[in-house]
């Protein structure tokens, strides 16, 4: 009798899952991957789907209120900057991409920015602590990974000092990415007056509903005048390396100027989501100097609550509109059909398409998923390099000596549709050329993947790749 009841429950869940997959308009590849999962591991597959696979994008009255507050804030920023919509007409890329980002993500390009490239952990944290020391009004931090260690202790000491000076400090950390951050450390932060909130923390009901949606952003704001974003988390491994992966190689940005206020919008939205407090959208904005810098920057952010995929569409547009070359550095290239075809079309059209990935990976399934796309890309003429000296974690695109994308987003479905991400687009020849040379320098420390050799790889490797590729839409 019990097995009949269990079978009925199983069938109802399975039918509900199929209906949910069809109604929510999930991509065919992902639908098939989930169906294969429940046939391969029936009970566990269905439980996994109801835990992490459902489309939970919802809009509510609360969201509408948030949008109205954000729109008012954006208007204030525009008035404060004295910039309505800078025209960028120097190239086909500049003519299209800014409009795409503005429509899908909401931010216009901003002028009068100063951009500083920060390579690896030491340069990044030297700049971060130097900037934090200058804070007079507020410090905002948003991080996917915030770990106990020397960096965390240095931050605590600095926060203690700044709180006594009257500086307001707010921190958001991701509830899964920062799982190892100790309760004692958080308690001590709160005790000195720091406001701290987790993003979707470990709570059974909420955890099962939202484990698949993580805040992968890394943002620091100092007084609305200095901002940081990029791939580097608050973790000692960025300074000391990793026993398994070796030295971590990454890139971060320091921004000054109008783009800082756009990143502050992103923080304010996330602060509203975790705390219910929208007062950050009413904060007094600093007067921006028009002599900070001369670089044009556009912020693009996205998450699972976006109808479009702002970052995915940005990557697609960058590839599609490149005329001479596009160099991509990313550890997690699991592109999906659209980006894969864009890369193949660009290479077949004569564009110099190069891909730099890490030879080492922090996940076996990710490693084989990334490799599963190599053969078709190589056949189309894409040049692929595997970085050999540690773990390459940078997320950089540079195109045609004109435009650069740096940020938190990987080139995979998770970053496009499931994570909360943020990138900075820099429309600047000098920055693009600098990062082109950086790419070529790292290629010198990489192994080239050759088509003729790769296509004859062992059958077992092909099998691993095939298995991983089937499940790559779920990653």
Q: Which residues are catalytic?
A: 216, 218, 223, 393, 395, 400
Cα distance between residue 96 and residue 93, in whole Å: 6
Burial class (CB in 10 A: 0-12, 13-18, 19+), 201: middle
Give the strand pairing for 325-329 and 168-174.
unpaired
Distance CA 384, CA 371 (A): 10
Distances (CA, A) of 411 to 68, 261, 343, 372, 474: 31, 26, 12, 14, 14
Burial class (CB in 10 A: 0-12, 13-18, 19+), 29: middle
How many angstroms separate the CA atoms of 328 and 319, rounded?
10
What is the full DSSP assignment across 359-377?
SS-S-HHHHHHHHTTHHHH
Around Cβ 378, how many Cβ atoms within 10 Å?
Answer: 20
Written as six digits, the tokens of 327 are 């160099």
Asked if 424 contacts 405 with a C-beta cutoff of 8 angstroms, the reply is yes
Helix (H), strand (E) at residue 8: helix 2-23
Q: Dihedrals φ, ψ of 220, to 5°? A: -130, 135
């Amino acid at each position: 009798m019990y097995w009949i009841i269990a079978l009925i429950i199983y069938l109802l869940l399975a039918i509900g899952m199929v209906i949910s997959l069809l109604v929510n308009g999930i991509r065919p590849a992902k639908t098939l991957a989930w169906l294969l999962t429940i046939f391969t591991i029936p009970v566990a597959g269905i439980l996994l789907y109801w835990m992490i696979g459902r489309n939970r994008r919802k809009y509510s009255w609360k969201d509408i209120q948030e949008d109205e507050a954000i729109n008012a804030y954006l208007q204030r920023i525009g008035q404060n900057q004295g910039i309505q919509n800078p025209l960028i007409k120097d190239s086909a890329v500049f003519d299209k991409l800014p409009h795409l980002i503005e429509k899908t993500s909401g931010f216009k390009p901003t002028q009068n920015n100063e951009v500083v490239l920060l390579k690896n952990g030491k340069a990044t944290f030297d700049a971060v602590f130097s900037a934090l020391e200058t804070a007079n009004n507020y410090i905002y931090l948003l991080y996917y990974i915030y770990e106990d260690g020397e960096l965390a202790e240095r931050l605590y000491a600095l926060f203690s000092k700044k709180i006594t000076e009257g500086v307001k400090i707010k921190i958001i950390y991701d509830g899964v990415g920062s799982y190892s951050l100790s309760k004692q450390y958080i308690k001590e932060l709160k005790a000195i007056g720091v406001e701290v909130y987790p993003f979707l923390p470990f709570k059974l009901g909420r955890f099962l509903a939202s484990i698949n949606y993580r805040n992968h952003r890394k943002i620091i704001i100092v007084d609305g005048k200095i901002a940081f974003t990029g791939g580097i988390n608050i973790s000692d491994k960025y300074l000391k390396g990793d026993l398994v992966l070796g030295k971590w190689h990454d890139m971060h940005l320091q921004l000054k100027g109008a783009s800082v206020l756009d990143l502050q919008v992103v923080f304010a939205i996330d602060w509203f989501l975790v705390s219910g407090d929208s007062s950050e959208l009413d904060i007094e904005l600093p007067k921006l100097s028009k002599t900070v810098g001369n670089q044009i920057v556009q912020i693009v952010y996205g998450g699972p609550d976006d109808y479009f995929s702002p970052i995915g569409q940005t990557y697609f547009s960058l590839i599609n509109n490149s005329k001479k070359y596009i160099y991509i550095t990313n550890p997690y290239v699991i592109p999906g059909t659209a980006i894969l075809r864009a890369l193949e079309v660009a290479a077949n059209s004569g564009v110099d398409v190069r891909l730099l990935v890490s030879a080492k990976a922090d996940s076996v399934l990710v490693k084989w998923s990334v490799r599963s796309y190599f053969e078709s890309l190589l056949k189309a003429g894409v040049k692929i390099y595997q970085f050999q000296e540690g773990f390459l974690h940078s997320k950089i695109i540079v195109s045609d000596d004109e435009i650069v994308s740096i940020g938190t987003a990987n080139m995979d479905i998770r970053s496009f549709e499931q994570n909360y991400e943020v990138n900075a687009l820099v429309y600047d020849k000098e920055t693009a050329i600098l990062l082109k040379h950086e790419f070529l320098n790292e290629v010198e420390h990489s192994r080239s993947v050759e088509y003729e050799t790769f296509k004859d790889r062992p059958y077992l490797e092909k099998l691993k790749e095939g298995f991983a590729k089937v499940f790559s839409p779920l990653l």
